[in-house]
Amino acid sequence: MAKKKTKFMCKTCGYESPKWMGRCPGCGEWNTMDEETEIVQKGPRGAFQHSDAVKQKAMPINDVAVEDEPRVHTEMEELNRVLGGGIVPGSLVLIGGDPGIGKSTLLLQVSALLANQQQRVLYISGEESIRQTKLRAQRLGVLSDELYIYAETDLALIHDTIDNVKPKFVIVDSIQTIHHPEVASAPGSVSQVRECTAELMKIAKTQGIAIFLVGHVTKDGQIAGPRLLEHMVDTVLYFEGERHHTYRILRSVKNRFGSTNEIAIFEMVQAGLKEVLNPSEMFIQERSQGGAGSTIVASMEGTRPILVEIQALVTPSSFNYPKRMATGLDQNRVSLLMAVLEKRMGMLLQAQDAYIKVAGGVKLDEPAIDLAVLMSIVSSYRDVAVRASDCYMGEVGLTGEVRRVSRIEQRVAEAAKLGFERAVIPASNIGGWDYPEGIQVVGVETVRDALDLCLPQ
């Protein structure tokens, strides 16, 4: 017999409760508990319900035959690198981002590129009608006979359409609009998103179809729904950017078929998204020459080195507690570096407001940016500009030492390619590799050494 069971689930973290609560105990968010009805099938006591699927036997791992499955390369080299070299058949890819950031535009352009390679693509739109999708495709100029459009939200009908069309690639825009007919809760709820994703994952794995899912995000920028959704898929991509800027960053935070933290940079133009092949030049092309508080750091985003400008503004505070604001950086990291300057260098920053920004809208979170952030703070505090041809990289410890960073060869090579004349790096990274031509590599052991070298009093 079937029995209905009512429960409340958090749409942010998936926490379950038999009663409604204003604040979720799992994630601490307010007003995120939604009521859902679950149909429980009761069978004989001790009986184990299993499907009629073909049984497989356990076997030694050495006896498993593995074949290299070729990836499908699109004409977007930026997207190929983020995915680990191309699209893997049978993979499930989740793309999240703010509304209007360009998720549907990117996937529609990718669909046309695949269709032009005689790969059949099925674009399932749960938010737009077929005519609206056709108008958007005409504006982008991405029409093709192998690109099929289907506007539906019922998962059962979508499954039948996939069986009839037999595509190689499927785009679902978006997963929050799809509903499973056997699940009683509303579309977009935790149960619906979880069951629909599980069904689409089964289709991808059994039929070898690469499926792209578009996911809505919360106000904090996370994929809407429980974190279980990210664990189910093979690849999770986040589309970042600001509406006031034309540049968009596609970041890989999970990838079973490649490295994580890879980024692809696009520019939003009238004809859609355009690839940016040299992001380092883009981020530093508007740098002001001779301005105090501006430094350049060579940061690694996945396997790609990117030169980014870090700006600092240190001014006397008119409050009892000075302000510490950071954009594109961890604010706690900025406070830590300022504490190192106060303790180890004797700088009185307790009465100074500090505003730190990463130009271009990119976010940096690796330890190798410490030295550049510290140099920009001191440059603004002393109102003395550093050399415009210098590039900084290094991790700063609490005792004021400059520690080793990874992939130093790629960082320095990128700086040399863009015309920088000197790279200030940790002394422990000196030696053991060939320096590029045209750039001077200088090693420093402590913060004091870096300041005496670049900002002597």
CB–CB of 283/264 below 8 Å?
no
103 contacts: CB under 8 Å, gap ≥ 6: 95, 96, 97, 173, 214, 239
N- to C-terminal Cα separation, the chain: 83
Tell me the C-alpha distance between 73 and 453, whole Å.
47
Cα separation, 186 vs 200, whole angstroms? 18
Do 82 and 110 form a contact (C-beta atoms < 8 A)?
A: no
CA distance linking residue 67 with residue 307, whole number of Å: 39
H-helix or E-strand spanning residue 317: none
Which residues are registered as beta bridge partners of 74? Answer: none
Query: Which tokens go with 353?
Result: 């407001």
Is 102 annotated as a binding-site member? yes
Report the relative pairing of strands 247-255 and 263-269 from DSSP bridges: antiparallel
Annotated ligand binding at 103? The verdict is yes
Identify residue 201 by its one-letter amino acid code.
Answer: M
Is 100 marked within a binding site? yes
SS3 category, 82: helix
Backbone angles phi, psi at 67, to 5 degrees: -120, 140
Residue 363, annotated as binding a ligand: no
What residues are designated binding site for ATP?
Answer: 97-104
What residues are designated binding site?
Answer: 97-104
